[in-house]
């Protein structure tokens, strides 16, 4: 019967889509590499912004007596870091981007850029002492939170489990470092004013607690080399810093010369934070190396694929040709090879994605609490945890409840 061997033209074959699949995999990895560069640039920006915040705190709490001369240099460093971020952002080519999930990422970048644009006014107010320390601190923290949210979104957009893990480790570590930065700023303010309130004591304790929590997540997802580096640093934490920590967390009026204590505290806390920056840089190096290796692997695999395709004897591309069984098996082997490779990542990616999704909801609920109930990040986290314990529910369930209540009240926001 002849009918079986005539028919329509087969425009695109299985092999065409195999090549397209591999090409798309490589494009995705290249985009992740670009994202990795952006994350590195933001990590640097956050670092110098944290230092500017600490300096501004000391300046404000000493009624402009201390570190007025340092403000300029700090702001300059931030502007330099901003410039590098801008270069990376321009390379994303937003209007012609093939990035997946890009609408969420771009929306985050818009929020990030807006937060940067509020800094000049803040600096002017700090400079002129027309803003209080708590309010200035709040604005710096809010800006940094917007920066970190961008990194979290990048982790969520990744389709590679290994790279998602790296990004999640990086986000958690940066979050921990940010809490350390807040601790430095709050402590510096207290020492400079020579006064700690009960509220400040509790805030400091919460910040220390929060750092532990973030580093736990880091331990869970980070590369073993980064974990080792951080553990070595933890082993060398200075006892002097711990002593000042204890003073800041327990005394109302520290004994000693305010200026000296503030400077010493800031110096020690900065050494510690600079150590964290090293870990962060290591995390970034490994992230980039991981991206580059994955691209190389995918390229090698594409070359092998193309080579094997050449071995497939030319056959009629018109459907429905009766493809010889042997040829059909060769094609099937190639199809299954690609499929196996992608599916090997699926289970892990699925687990990571649900981890990320839960964290995203918790972060958002915390953000709402911070915004509408004037809480700090650790306070918001504590509040969530307590609600969860009381109601015997999971943290993420409480977070979902808070988000839906806020949605009903029209209070949803960044």
CB atoms under 10 Å from CB of 410, counted, come to 7
Nearest distance from C-beta of residue 71 to its own copies, angstroms: 9
Check residue 16 for interaction with its own copies (CB under 8 A). yes
Nearest distance from C-beta of residue 85 to its own copies, angstroms: 10
Distance of CA 315 to the CA centre of its chain: 50
CA–CA–CA angle 174, 176, 181 (5° rounding):
90
What's the Cα-to-Cα distance from 174 to each of 112, 123, 344, rounded to whole Å? 16, 24, 30
Which is nearer to its own copies, 111 or 208 (by Cβ)? Answer: 111
Query: Which segments within 107-177 are labelled E, that is strand?
Result: none
Options 52-60, 251-259, 289-297, 341-349: segment touching its own copies (CB under 8 A): 341-349
Answer for the pair 322, 205: CB distance below 8 angstroms, yes or no: no
State the Cα–Cα distance between residues 311 and 260, nearest whole angstrom. 76
Fill in the per-residue mask, 117 to 136: x = in contact with its own copies (CB under 8 A), - = not in contact.
xxxxx-xx--x---------
Options 11-19, 34-42, 246-254, 269-277: segment touching its own copies (CB under 8 A): 11-19
> Among 64, 132, 134, 320, which residue interacts with its own copies (rule: CB under 8 A)?
320
Pick from 111, 183, 170: nearest CA to 143 = 111
Pick from 169, 151, 36: nearest CA to 92 = 36
Check residue 224 for interaction with its own copies (CB under 8 A). no
Options 53-61, 258-266, 327-335, 383-391: segment touching its own copies (CB under 8 A): 327-335
Nearest distance from C-beta of residue 38 to its own copies, angstroms: 12
SS3 track for 340-374: HHHHHHHHHHHHHHHHHHHHHHHHHHHHHHHHHCC
Check residue 335 for interaction with its own copies (CB under 8 A). yes
Pick from 209, 211, 221, 350: nearest CA to 283 = 221
> Among 43, 200, 338, 376, which residue interacts with its own copies (rule: CB under 8 A)?
338
- Restricting to residues 69-128, name those near its own copies by CB under 8 A: 72, 75-76, 79, 82-83, 86-87, 89-90, 94-95, 97-114, 116-121, 123-124, 127
**Total interface residues for its own copies by CB under 8 A:** 98
> Among 77, 213, 264, 353, which residue interacts with its own copies (rule: CB under 8 A)?
353
Check residue 405 for interaction with its own copies (CB under 8 A). no
State the Cα–Cα distance between residues 141 and 202, nearest whole angstrom. 18
Check residue 20 for interaction with its own copies (CB under 8 A). yes
CB atoms under 10 Å from CB of 202, counted, come to 15
Fill in the per-residue mask, 279 to 318: x = in contact with its own copies (CB under 8 A), - = not in contact.
----------------------------------------
């Amino acid at each position: 019967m002849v009918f079986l061997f005539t028919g329509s033209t087969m425009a695109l074959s299985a092999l065409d889509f195999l090549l397209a699949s591999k090409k798309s995999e490589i494009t995705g990895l290249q985009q992740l590499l670009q994202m990795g560069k952006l994350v590195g640039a933001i990590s640097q920006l956050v670092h110098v912004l944290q230092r500017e915040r600490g300096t501004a705190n000391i300046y404000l709490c000493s009624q402009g007596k201390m570190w007025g001369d340092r403000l300029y240099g700090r702001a300059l460093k931030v502007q330099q870091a901003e410039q590098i971020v801008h270069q990376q952002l321009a390379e994303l080519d937003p209007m012609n981007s093939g990035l997946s999930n890009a609408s969420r990422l771009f929306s985050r970048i818009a929020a990030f850029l807006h937060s940067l644009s509020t800094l000049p006014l803040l600096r002017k107010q700090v400079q002129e002492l027309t803003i209080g320390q708590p309010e200035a601190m709040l604005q710096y923290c809010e800006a940094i939170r917007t920066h970190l949210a961008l990194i979290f979104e990048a982790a969520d957009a990744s389709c590679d489990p290994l790279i998602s893990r790296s990004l999640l480790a990086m986000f958690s570590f940066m979050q921990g470092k940010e809490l350390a930065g807040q601790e430095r700023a709050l402590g510096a303010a207290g020492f400079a004013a020579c006064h700690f309130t009960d509220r400040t004591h509790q805030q400091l304790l919460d910040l220390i607690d929060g750092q532990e929590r973030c580093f736990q997540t880091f331990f869970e997802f980070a590369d073993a080399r980064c974990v080792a580096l951080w553990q070595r640093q933890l082993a060398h934490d200075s006892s002097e810093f711990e002593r000042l920590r204890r003073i800041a967390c327990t005394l109302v009026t520290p004994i000693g010369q305010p200026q000296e204590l503030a400077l010493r505290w800031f110096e020690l806390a900065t050494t510690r934070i600079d150590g964290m920056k090293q870990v962060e840089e290591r995390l970034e190096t490994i992230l980039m190396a991981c991206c580059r290796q994955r691209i190389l692997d995918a390229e090698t695999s594409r070359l092998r694929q193309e080579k094997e395709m050449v071995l497939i004897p030319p056959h009629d591309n018109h459907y429905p040709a009766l493809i010889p069984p042997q040829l059909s098996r060769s094609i099937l082997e190639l199809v299954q090879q690609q499929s196996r490779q992608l599916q090997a990542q699926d289970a892990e990616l699925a687990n990571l994605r649900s981890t990320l999704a839960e964290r995203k909801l918790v972060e958002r609920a915390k953000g709402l609490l911070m915004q509408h109930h004037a809480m700090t990040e650790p306070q918001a986290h504590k509040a969530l945890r307590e609600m969860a314990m009381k109601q015997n529910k999971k943290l993420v369930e409480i977070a979902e409840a808070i988000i839906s209540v806020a949605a009903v009240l029209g209070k949803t926001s960044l």
